[in-house]
Amino acid sequence: MATKTSDNPIAPVGESVTRLDARAKVTGSATYADDFQFGPILLHARAVRSPHPMALIKKVDTSEAEAMPGVKGIVTGKDFDGMLGLYLTDRYILCRDRVRYVGDPVAVVAAETVEIAEEAVKKIKVEYEVLPPVLDPEEGIKPGATVVHPDLGNYAYPNFIFPEAGTNIANRFKVRKGDVDEGFKKCAAIVERKYKVPHIQHVPIEPHVSVAKWDEDGHITLWTSSQSPFAQRNLIAKALHVSQGSVEVIAPYVGGGFGAKAGVSMESLAVVVSSKTKGRPVKLVLTREEEFHAAFCRQGLVAHYKMGCDKDGNLIAVDNKYYWDAGAYTEYGVNITRASGYSSTGPYRVPNVRVDSVCVYTNHPVGGPMRGFGMPEIHVGLEQCVDDLAHEIGMDPYEFRKKNCVKDGDIIVTGMKMHPTGLSKCIDEVAKAIDWGKKEQPTGPNKRRGKGMAIMWKAPAMPPNPGSSAEVKFNEDGTVDVAIGGQELGQGTFTVMAQMVASALGIPYEWVRISTPIDTKFSPYEWQTVASRLTWSMGNAVRLAALDARKQIIDLVSKAWNEDPDNLDIRNGVVVSYKTEETLPLKDIVIYGIPKENYNGWMGGPVVGRGSFMPTYVTGLDKDTGQGERAVVHYTTGCQAVDLEVDLETGKLDIIKAVSAFDVGKAINPEMVKGQMEGGFVMGMSTGYFEAMRLKGGVMQNPSFVDYRIATSTDIPLKVESIIVEVAQDDGPWGARGIGEHSMVPTVPAIANAIYDAIKIRVGDPPFSAEKVYLAMMDAGIVK
């Protein structure tokens, strides 16, 4: 944790300090959820999971398993009638009368060893009555399809979600703006396309892990790899009909989340089985195979695009339909549908919009909040259609995007006014860095080379009132412990918060520690670590907490020195008077206060700074038109381009150079921001090259690394360039907004557009496997 202090009053905000958790991680001493030591008291759990995509449960017989030596507790759905759901409450903790996807949990066993638990699972007999599954969202909305949730009409949901009882439609977001039919009449070019984006998986390298303990006095403790300790506490408490105060979630470092560890998925399974083990903690770890098929996935999308522009390249009308293959439970996924609806045009100014974004129940794995939250999926088609429109009217796709991209003050798809954004600058920077317009020579006779670009936008997708809070407290030596409820997933949140506290307080970065693990009993509330919201939202809370502490200190010293507080400052951990040049180190006062003159009493005492932030300006959107004053808090925008080659012998793709530019408002830690751009690019590239959950009859055919391939060190481009653009966010700390998700949003269409530039054909839906590219070239006569 090397680093420097600076006389620059805003430092270390804006400096690329070394991460404060780096040393713990490189020495292997960082604690993750599977590393907690419990000793012999710990039990191990395994779940019984449905082998069918859709079936009624006729009977569950646990008697043989109960009799096994070493088995300490078994729970089934009949033991728990509460339901879980972040937005739409549609999921029992354990299936009660039916199963809805392959992997749906029916029972959980706790035993002395994981081997005994595994044996016990085999001995639990479940009788199913198999029903015809829904395996396609467009089929699922047709009359006569199996209704996956017959009780949809009874589920609780917030007022911005619109389930259609009696159907498989869990939510529908409509945009009706202007007049698309009239608009298309004015178009010189119209493209109509259909894209199917397959289900993919988050693939954090750390699997899900939860340890749950249910004490005899009713207190529940959950140690878990979690992005959402408070949301998990809330949802589990509600489902168990207990007070949130009696559930304590303890969340250490997370070995990768990407959304998989947000909301509640497997955590509740550990909790419920621990109800039977008389206070002994129970650990549940998902195997990698379960990670692939039984954890939150990214839902599939069937998207129909119809987009048109006039002869000058102005986008006139967009008429899109997004059918989300949202899986067996849509408690989280309903909001993906909504977010994709209110951002459905992509980052463009379009006067006429008709969009239906429909969340459809299917008997597929459960769609959850994967990085991008609907944006990568819809941009696959959006950005290819934009390129196609540009080609049709003979316009450079770069010019087309410059012309139509959202700018400050534009009215966007929901009627909201766009705030200042650096999107145009991102496009220009990327075009320059990739040498747009220059046709590069292929590196060999069997290669074709091309460049492609894509732009994006994304707003944090949240309820309208997600809160952050923070506390700053001091130690005797002036160092600070910052209590927050947001999680370090690798994205660098702890470091950035420490930088903000150091800057706002006026103390060295090395003096700041972040209190980890997050513990909902001691840590201040944070909605969730999702949506790329922490730098902005929790950053605001942390900054306010630091400023609150600073004010207490300044006020105290101004009283002690009888000076105007405006003449005082804290620099490098020392209170200074600009007037008298007197100094007072923080360590002398932040716990002990200041003695009055001649020690005739004392002033002050332990300083604790508090801060809280919640956006107050998000409005609702009309149910039928999707219009409203302020749909979202803000948008992060950006652009990516790739220079790649297609191998004519094999169809393989090789990216020679990749360029990203994103408007992050203010880069609190520039190298870490670039790290997000690089990592997101590679994750996006991986989904573009390799990734798909191959679902056949609802069963995932490739639930392991053997056949679910992700990018390795040998697949990445030779050169990558990451450019930071900063157009301040008006209510962001130092102007900052998020970047964590955005860097994987434009990647797949940028690759698709580059392929098109290289070989002049579209190769179909992602992933663009070598086989897909090669056979497309063969069918088009490019190779024989």
Beta strands in 185-266 (DSSP E): 189-197, 209-214, 220-224, 247-251
Does residue number 68 form part of the binding site for another protein (CB under 8 A)? no
Task: For the CB of residue 714, give the shortest distance to another protein in the complex, in Å.
Answer: 4
Q: In the stretch 104-133, what mask flags binding to another protein with x, by CB under 8 A?
A: ----------xx--x---------------
Residue written as token pair 């360029």: 659
Cβ distance to another protein smaller for residue 213 or 674: 674
Does residue number 63 form part of the binding site for another protein (CB under 8 A)? no
Which one among 102, 124, 360, 633 touches another protein, defined by CB under 8 A?
Answer: 102
Which one among 5, 11, 25, 351 touches another protein, defined by CB under 8 A?
Answer: 25
Pairing, β 247-251 against β 220-224 = parallel
- How many positions of this chain bind another protein (CB under 8 A)? 87
Which one among 707, 730, 760, 780 touches another protein, defined by CB under 8 A?
Answer: 707
Does residue number 699 form part of the binding site for another protein (CB under 8 A)? yes
Cβ distance to another protein smaller for residue 560 or 776: 776
Task: For the CB of residue 21, give the shortest distance to another protein in the complex, in Å.
Answer: 7
Task: For the CB of residue 73, give the shortest distance to another protein in the complex, in Å.
Answer: 18
Does residue number 29 form part of the binding site for another protein (CB under 8 A)? yes
DSSP 3-state of 294: coil
Does residue number 26 form part of the binding site for another protein (CB under 8 A)? yes
Buried b / exposed e across 602-624, counting CB within 10 Å, b at 16+?
eebeebebbbbbebeebeebeee
Q: In the stretch 630-649, what mask flags binding to another protein with x, by CB under 8 A?
A: -------------------x
Cβ distance to another protein smaller for residue 34 or 731: 34
Does residue number 703 form part of the binding site for another protein (CB under 8 A)? yes
Query: Footprint of another protein on residues 461-490 (CB under 8 A)?
Result: 489-490
The DSSP code for 733 is G
Task: For the CB of residue 47, give the shortest distance to another protein in the complex, in Å.
Answer: 11
Stretch that binds another protein, among 285-293, 316-324, 412-420, 518-526 (CB under 8 A): 285-293
Give the list of residues 6+ apart from residue 604 with CB closer than 8 angstroms, or none: 552, 556, 589, 592, 593, 594
Check: CB of residue 523 under 8 Å from CB of residue 488: no
Does residue number 183 form part of the binding site for another protein (CB under 8 A)? no
Cα 707 to Cα 245, 285, 428: the distances in Å are: 44, 22, 39
Check: CB of residue 422 under 8 Å from CB of residue 413: no
Query: Footprint of another protein on residues 216-255 (CB under 8 A)?
Result: 253-255
Cβ distance to another protein smaller for residue 561 or 690: 690
Residue written as token pair 């663009």: 768
**Dihedrals phi, psi of 395, to nearest 5 degrees:** -110, 145
Which one among 256, 442, 467, 628 touches another protein, defined by CB under 8 A?
Answer: 256
Task: For the CB of residue 135, give the shortest distance to another protein in the complex, in Å.
Answer: 16
Task: For the CB of residue 258, give the shortest distance to another protein in the complex, in Å.
Answer: 7
Which one among 112, 138, 289, 588 touches another protein, defined by CB under 8 A?
Answer: 289
Task: For the CB of residue 301, give the shortest distance to another protein in the complex, in Å.
Answer: 22
Give the list of residues 6+ apart from residue 481 with CB closer than 8 angstroms, or none: 472, 473, 474, 475, 513, 514, 515
Which one among 82, 207, 259, 486 touches another protein, defined by CB under 8 A?
Answer: 207
Cα 617 to Cα 270, 735, 742, 766: the distances in Å are: 38, 18, 23, 38
Task: For the CB of residue 191, give the shortest distance to another protein in the complex, in Å.
Answer: 29
Sign of CA dihedral 35, 253, 28, 720: positive
Give the list of residues 6+ apart from residue 276 with CB closer than 8 angstroms, or none: 72, 73, 74, 75, 110
Stretch that binds another protein, among 23-31, 160-168, 212-220, 270-278 (CB under 8 A): 23-31
Residue written as token pair 């630091």: 546
Q: How many distinct helices (H) and strands (E) make up the chain?
A: 17, 33
Task: For the CB of residue 702, give the shortest distance to another protein in the complex, in Å.
Answer: 6
Distance CA 486, CA 230 (A): 9
Does residue number 690 form part of the binding site for another protein (CB under 8 A)? yes
H/E run at residue 471: strand 468-474
Residue 578 corresponds to which tokens in the numbers above?
């600009």
Which one among 682, 725, 750, 759 touches another protein, defined by CB under 8 A?
Answer: 682
Cβ distance to another protein smaller for residue 256 or 565: 256
Cβ distance to another protein smaller for residue 443 or 704: 704
Cβ distance to another protein smaller for residue 562 or 713: 713
Q: How many Å separate Cα 712 from the centre of its chain?
A: 22
- Residues shown for the chain: 784
Query: Footprint of another protein on residues 557-586 (CB under 8 A)?
Result: none
Which one among 213, 238, 293, 379 touches another protein, defined by CB under 8 A?
Answer: 293
Residue written as token pair 């939510």: 171
Which one among 14, 43, 46, 220 touches another protein, defined by CB under 8 A?
Answer: 46
Task: For the CB of residue 721, give the shortest distance to another protein in the complex, in Å.
Answer: 11
Which one among 12, 137, 204, 327 touches another protein, defined by CB under 8 A?
Answer: 204
Does residue number 657 form part of the binding site for another protein (CB under 8 A)? no
**Dihedrals phi, psi of 536, to nearest 5 degrees:** -80, -55
Stretch that binds another protein, among 127-135, 243-251, 567-575, 703-711 (CB under 8 A): 703-711
Check: CB of residue 522 under 8 Å from CB of residue 455: no
Which one among 18, 314, 479, 558 touches another protein, defined by CB under 8 A?
Answer: 18
Buried b / exposed e across 246-272, counting CB within 10 Å, b at 16+?
bbbbbbbbbbbbbbbbbbbbbbbbbbb
Does residue number 343 form part of the binding site for another protein (CB under 8 A)? no
Stretch that binds another protein, among 383-391, 586-594, 714-722, 750-758 (CB under 8 A): 714-722
Express the helix, strand and coil content of the chain in percent, nearest 5 each: 25, 25, 45
**Dihedrals phi, psi of 446, to nearest 5 degrees:** -100, 25
Cα 621 to Cα 319, 496, 625: the distances in Å are: 19, 33, 8
Q: Which of 241, 403, 381, 200 is nearest to 305 (CA)?
A: 381
Which one among 441, 600, 616, 713 touches another protein, defined by CB under 8 A?
Answer: 713
Task: For the CB of residue 34, give the shortest distance to another protein in the complex, in Å.
Answer: 7
Does residue number 342 form part of the binding site for another protein (CB under 8 A)? no
